[in-house]
Chains A and B, each alone.
Chain A
Amino acid sequence: MDGPPGITITSQECPGPPRASRSVMAEAVSISVEPRDPAKNKGTGSRVSRKLRAAGRIPAILYGHKQANIPLSISHEDVWTLVKKGNHLAQLRIGNTTEMALIRNVQWDHLGRDIIHLDFYRVSAHERIKTEVSVVLHGIPEGVAEGGVLDQPVHSITVSCEATAIPASIKVEVGHLQLNQVLHAKDITLPTGVALEVDPDTVLAHIVSKQAVAEPTGTEGAVTQPEIIGRKEKKEEV
């Protein structure tokens, strides 16, 4: 297996204890949402959204199941409750009706401080869906004590499961990993009813050798110019 330059990583099957992976099912959070005023440009558009944000509400949209799209607005506090809990599922109370929805997309501002828009996708309780779930590594690998570095190339994986059984995260124990050992997606145990939707050979974690700190060399400061694309070198006159 190829690794970073100068480091040879040998792919090995991980011996030792079975890969303990835990996951906590996220419960649907019930939040109150308001449909946007259809009198004002059908309740949509950047101008309406800007005014909502200024009033402390976050614009959102509910779609899916071949039903009409509903532009919504949610209070700032409710959105942060959802996000902090890492919930994928939400029970939206729109007037007298309640709809179960999956958070499909979250738009952040350029600094990643505030949420500026949410996409909700209608789901039924026992509908099988595909979603991204974060992978959380637990434990300090034995290989790290031997001078290695824990590398996590993938931070989330796609799984399919029932809407009400989405794990909040998949916790993977990596304490047994030795230097140059690799943990694949196929090595982890998923909760009942949850299936992997990525390549089973996807590397979730591996322990690589420490990279040497590059010290400044004597050639520093030597000015070199990049090659110019398409410029022919001048032929030397004889």
Chain B
Amino acid sequence: MAMMPKRVKFRKVQKGRIRGNATRGNYVAFGDYGLQALEPIRLSAEAIEAGRMTASRATKGGGKLFIRVFPHKSVTSIPAETRMGKGKGEVEFWAAVIKPGTILYELAGVTEEQARAAFARVAYKMPVNCRFVTRRPTF
């Protein structure tokens, strides 16, 4: 089932704008390989779940998958052919706000070839351009 917060202070929030680049969550922190978003987008919980399932199936349950993003933001919509006004629409889905550079998923315990193959499939499911990344050197 798609992810969503368990508790929120406000059910509906303002739309906002995705500005700038990722200054956090933009490097491989837990696994060995990662999938990095190159464009800003509101990534729906369904898309995150689709990527998770694709990665799990591609690695056949092997390795360890880390999901680095969470859909904290609710997105509302009003039904078609509705007159203007009458307040904000109902929550349609939950989304994660993604800035360029954000790491979406990480994989550990698999070879680079396996990780590349798995993330190529996941990237196909994603609504943004993504790239495969590895850990940065330690200093």
Contacts and interface: CB of A to CB of B under 8 A. Distances in A.
B8 A216 contact: no
Contact of B6 (A112, A150, A226): A226
Interface in A196-238: 208, 210-214, 216-217, 219-220, 222, 224-230
Interface string A114-138: 0000000000000000011110000
A50 interface: no
A68 interface: no
B57 interface: yes
A24 interface: no
Contacts of A214: 53, 56
B61 A112 contact: no
Dominant SS at the B interface? Answer: loop
B117 to A, nearest CB: 16
A219 B133 CA distance: 35
A83 interface: yes
Interface size of B as a range: 35 or more
The binding surface of chain A is classed by DSSP as loop
Interface stretch (A36-44, A99-107, A183-191): A99-107
Contacts of B63: 149
Contacts of B60: 213
Contacts of A86: 137-138
Contacts, number: 93
A47 interface: no
A220 B136 contact: no
Contacts of B7: 226-229
Nearest to A157: B138
B109 interface: yes
A219 B91 CA distance: 19
B11 interface: yes
A106 B138 CA distance: 9
Contact of A110 (B23, B32, B135): B23
Interface in B36-86: 36, 38, 53, 56-57, 60-64
Given A111-B36, A222-B1, A227-B7, 19 more contacts: A4-B64, A88-B139, A110-B26, A110-B101, A111-B26, A111-B131, A112-B36, A112-B101, A149-B63, A149-B109, A150-B109, A151-B64, A152-B32, A152-B108, A152-B109, A212-B61, A216-B53, A226-B7, A228-B10
